[in-house]
Structure 1
Amino acid sequence: MNSTSQKISVFEKIGYSLGDLAANLVFQTLITYLAYFYTDIYGLKSTDASIIMLSVGLTAAFIFNPIIGVLADRTNSKWGKFRPWILYTAIPLGVVALLAFSTPDFSYKGKLIYAAVTYSLLLMLYASSNLPYSALSGVITGDMGERNSISSYRFVAVMFAQFFVQVFMLPIIIYAGHGDKAAGIETVMTWMAIVGTVMLLITFFTTRERIVPSIEQKSSIKDDLSDLMKNRPWLIMLGLTILVFITLAMKGGSYVYYFNNYVDKAALANFISPVIAGLSDLGINFFGSDPAAAGFGLFNAGGIIFMIVGISFSKKLADKYGKRDVYKYGLLAATFFVLIFIFFKPESVLLMFGSQILHGFFYGITIPVLWAMIADVADYSEWKTNRRATAIIFSAMMVGLKAGLSIGGALLTWILGLYGYIAKESAVAGQEIIQPHSVSEGARMLVSIYPSIPFLLGVGLLFFYVIDKKMEVKIEEDLKIRRKEKS
């Protein structure tokens, strides 16, 4: 391996992190609003939305991502292997993200086709941009301390994107559309597409690839796939990522239904009214008079703020105790504060907000660690085989992300259907939709019991993950020696 200085400037770390901010304007919107958009704005039946989300998502996970991983590892250009993908997908990704959340006036069958096509294109372009972007973190530096630092910068940026999407987006949609959510979401997505495109271009221009495979390194696709199947940490990370993103999609997409159908509106309005008044004094008036939308946003705000606090502890803890143990126990603590929602009554607003804050803190500790662990798995593969295939290793994360997102989102809409949820398309024209009481119980289960199960299974998988702190150090030292000898 060819390697120059492994220290990264703050400027480059910020430039790299903007790429994840851009990607998460799309990704967080998919987690938080895709199911709600399809059922309550676009007008699909919950079963049809579930089928589209699952079938398209699994196709993207198990076909798009491996293909992009193989192609990216075999890309050679003056800009490196991965940066060109970020450059060439920046504008198309923004355009298709806007189209996927548009509401053309088609027949119901036309709407189904349009949703399937635009969602497919969106996930294909997301893979073409975000998989090489993620793999880039494995070749910017071989220094694991710097890699932990990059991950921390990156996921602070993620939290900013998540903060906007989960806190402000729904109130802004209602405000921008003057109550018309379809018009509002198109306006918001237009601006998000523009901002996201600019940020991806900044990432391309401010980063460098320092870990370059030796010219003599050659491997076939068969070799790469064979290495993956023998790479136990990779298989564990694939399973872990699927489980984590099932929970994130299920839980994240459920909160809007939880606040609309379970939380007591009077208790919520009373709890948040001082905050809304304070924001109004500062000129922030788009939260409006809808207590469910405002409460949903502020609830997410508390969790995200404390996620950022958790992220600030992540690097020090990972450096001291190793990524595996920090992730395992952080995820276990975060799961407890999801599971506890099953005990809250509709009026227990303070307890809901408090548990969300504590969940955010512990989950925040794990966020940078997951991606850094994937980079470590790429090092582990090189250490074992003397060949480096960074992008296809990172495809584990992207396959897991897409599969988890698809399964979790599909489970969300399917479970809502089991509890009798009435989607916009099924309602009588001109009449207000009144959900059956069973939907309230379904929403409560969807933010507590159901999403806790995949998290707990993920904790169990980590007991079989062999890359502990001691092995991290040995891999880093051995690879430094090899790269120095070949440089």
Structure 2
Amino acid sequence: MALLAFSTPNFEYKGKVVYAVVTYTLLLLLYAANNLPYSALSGGVITGDMGERNSISAYRFVAVMFAQFFVQVFMLPIIESAGGGDKAVGIEIVMTWLAIIGTIMLLITFFTTRERIVPKPEQKSSVKEDLSDLFKNKPWVITLTVTTLVFVTLAMKGGSYVYYFKNYVDADRLTSFIGPLLDFLSSIGVNFFGEDPVSAGFGLFNAGGIIFMIVGIGLSKKLADKYGKRDVFMTFFIYFNFVYHLLLFLLFNICRLMFASQILHGFFYGITIPLLWAMIADVADYSEWKTNRRATAIIFSAMMVGLKGGLSIGSALLAYILASYGYDADLTQQTAITITGTKMLVSIYPAIPFLLGVGLLFFYEINKKMEVQIEAELKERRQS
């Protein structure tokens, strides 16, 4: 389906649009059907050891960030090379490679993993009972809300960077700042960012954030094992929110500080990434601990709804805020009010959902002490 979605059939324009909508929608549905059990597998059923879950989640998201870095930095040159300059052909060829690799990796995952934490054979429950348990599960409600708020922020912030670099960042200052680095990369034949200062600056800005996200993810397990997931998640949420957003808002057009803030963002946010998914698995344990019924699938399903809802809300808010500040894509130079709105979109507005999330985490009761208690008592029940 990925290959079909990224192929270009020889249709009329309207036919191509219909083809793209249908195939991409089917691709997203199949991805959701695949990613949901995969997320539940990595977070909730292959081990009951919370420390091992921290480790699994960290490895998973290190791989995710490497893949994201590869796509952002190397994918376009690979596509152009594979297609001989024809991007449509190049995309089909590259997607064929990726589809084959992805299929092989999924088969390896299927044949080499084993579910160790499964519901008891005698467990009988209906969807109604599972939903009732969910809404009585305070940590689940908080985690769902925090997940939604996190992805509202990510959608707003990620989408607004394009407008920020295009309409606000001074191209001359950016050229002066990144020029030596681009010259060095060109001299060794690895400049994949191009010569346009805005596009290259945007690419380097994102690449720097991803690199330090990987560093942060690598540290998350040790911190979570020592202090507990909730406390580490909340602490670095606060660091990320204040240091990054306030620094970026106060020092907008100083390039070195913009890039420094992105590096801090990557590092602090990277620490929280695997912890969120490990916390969702903890919520599944908490539910079993309280009700004596395991409901991993529905808990992760609901979290996926929160994730998709957050992305949708964030994207809608981005469009609404840009429109409210009078953004006009046809203008070469945006108005002062629009530029102010763009600055707010990469700083103050995304900070609001994050602050709400931090506030909610104060009421999330699964701290380090409770993690140990839940793990020990569930282990005893399963062995009896």
TM-score (norm 2): 0.89
Measured at CA, do residues 97 and 443 of structure 1 come closer, stay the same or move farther in structure 2, by a change above 3 Å?
Answer: farther
Q: What SS is found at the alignment partner of 1:464?
A: coil
Instruction: Quote the residue 1:354 is aligned against.
Output: 260
Q: CA deviation digits over 1:382-424, x for unaligned, max 9?
A: 111111111111123211111111111222233333334445x
Aligned mate of 2:6, from 76, 98, 122: 98
Q: CA deviation digits over 1:294-338, x for unaligned, max 9?
A: 111111121111111111221111111111111011111111112
After TM superposition, the structure 1 = structure 2 runs for residues 51-90 of structure 1, keeping only pairs within 5 Å, are none
Instruction: Quote the residue 1:341 is aligned against.
Output: 248
Instruction: Quote the residue 2:354 is aligned against.
Output: 455
Measured at CA, do residues 270 and 95 of structure 1 come closer, stay the same or move farther in structure 2, by a change above 3 Å?
Answer: same
5+ residue gaps in structure 2? none
Kept after mapping to 2: 8 A contact 1:140/1:209: yes
Aligned mate of 2:189, from 277, 283, 287: 283
Instruction: Quote the residue 2:25 is aligned against.
Output: 120
Kept after mapping to 2: 8 A contact 1:261/1:439: no
Cα distance, 1:188 vs structure 2: 5.8
Rounded to whole Å, the distance in 2 between the matches of 1:208 and 1:269 is 52
Instruction: Quote the residue 2:213 is aligned against.
Output: 307
Q: What SS is found at the alignment partner of 2:6?
A: helix
Instruction: Quote the residue 1:467 is aligned against.
Output: 366
Count of aligned positions: 381
Instruction: Quote the residue 2:332 is aligned against.
Output: 434
Instruction: Quote the residue 2:178 is aligned against.
Output: 272
Instruction: Quote the residue 1:31 is aligned against.
Output: none
Instruction: Quote the residue 2:116 is aligned against.
Output: 210
Instruction: Quote the residue 1:477 is aligned against.
Output: 376
Rounded to whole Å, the distance in 1 between the matches of 2:94 and 2:369 is 47
Correspondence 1:247 to 2:146:
no
| Identity percentage of aligned residues | 71
Kept after mapping to 2: 8 A contact 1:234/1:396: no
Kept after mapping to 1: 8 A contact 2:233/2:276: yes
TM-score (norm 1): 0.72
Cα distance, 1:219 vs structure 2: 1.1
Rounded to whole Å, the distance in 1 between the matches of 2:41 and 2:192 is 38
Measured at CA, do residues 295 and 373 of structure 1 come closer, stay the same or move farther in structure 2, by a change above 3 Å?
Answer: same
Instruction: Quote the residue 1:78 is aligned against.
Output: none
Q: Cα RMSD between the aligned structures?
A: 2.7
5+ residue gaps in structure 1? 1-91, 428-432
Kept after mapping to 1: 8 A contact 2:139/2:365: yes
Rounded to whole Å, the distance in 2 between the matches of 1:445 and 1:194 is 43
Instruction: Quote the residue 1:443 is aligned against.
Output: 342
Rounded to whole Å, the distance in 2 between the matches of 1:150 and 1:245 is 22
Instruction: Quote the residue 2:38 is aligned against.
Output: 133
Rounded to whole Å, the distance in 2 between the matches of 1:303 and 1:331 is 16
Measured at CA, do residues 146 and 190 of structure 1 come closer, stay the same or move farther in structure 2, by a change above 3 Å?
Answer: same
Measured at CA, do residues 268 and 108 of structure 1 come closer, stay the same or move farther in structure 2, by a change above 3 Å?
Answer: farther
Measured at CA, do residues 453 and 189 of structure 1 come closer, stay the same or move farther in structure 2, by a change above 3 Å?
Answer: farther
Kept after mapping to 1: 8 A contact 2:154/2:311: yes
Rounded to whole Å, the distance in 2 between the matches of 1:105 and 1:293 is 32
Aligned mate of 2:277, from 359, 371, 382: 371
Measured at CA, do residues 229 and 367 of structure 1 come closer, stay the same or move farther in structure 2, by a change above 3 Å?
Answer: same
Kept after mapping to 2: 8 A contact 1:303/1:359: yes
Kept after mapping to 2: 8 A contact 1:170/1:297: no
